[in-house]
Structure 1
């Protein structure tokens, strides 16, 4: 269990670093009007939305708050099997490179991270 949490946190940190390094910032884009069909490239997350999201929430609850699915950055395991882990990333509203990452395991939020959200 300790190893899994370390792996999730390491994956989240690496993904956040890659996003920051790539300079991804599309703060001028607007949110999609079709929740759950959007990708992370068109869904912009705010700090207020990020703050509403808590560990233990389902992926559906998170997607409802943010306005859609983020971009899949990494997956581990087999979908619909115990231990399946997926990391979604979103571009954020705020400073250059603002973003948020959410790691789900078995459909529940296990970790969240953000950089530069306002």
Structure 2
């Protein structure tokens, strides 16, 4: 059986194909695929938040109480633990109304999840 010699050109073409495939796969994974669990929202459209709304939100509030202040659902960012357990944790993000890149992230925890932490960037 005779071995085929792989040419430099064939090696370069193979590496380019692998590189392009890696980029395509990465784009699919990180594109914000709407069916990904990390990108689903409780409703179809996420609400936006202002600094005044953010300041009204206090630790210990439920998601529904926060939702009432903001006027709509946030975008689910992360979820861990079993629903109904004391260690169940869920985080949501609301984009800011005023500046591109402004947002608030809120984390709820517990059997009946209550707000444990909140952080905002650039809200006005």
Given the two structures, how large is their TM-score scaled by the length of structure 1?
0.64
Give distance in 1, aligned partners of 2:95 and 2:63.
17
* Match of residue 60, structure 2, among 56, 62, 67: 56
The CA deviation string for residues 52-86 of structure 1, in whole angstroms up to 9 with x for no partner, is 00111111100111112201100110112221000
Gaps of 5+ in 1: 1-35
Runs (4+) of structure 1 exceeding 3 A deviation are 36-39
Residues 39/110 of structure 1: CA separation in 2 closer, same or farther (3 Å cut): farther
Aligned match for 2:101, one of 90, 97, 102? 97
Alignment of 1:82 onto 2:67: no
CA radius of gyration, larger in: 2
Aligned with residue 113 of structure 1, among 110, 116, 119: 119
- Report how many residues are paired: 81
Q: Which has the higher strand share?
A: 1
Q: Which has the higher contact order (CA 8 A, sep 6+)?
A: 1
Which runs of 5 or more structure 2 residues have no equivalent in the other structure? 1-41
Q: Decide whether the 8 Å contact of 1:38 with 1:68 is kept in 2.
A: no
Root-mean-square deviation (Å) = 1.4
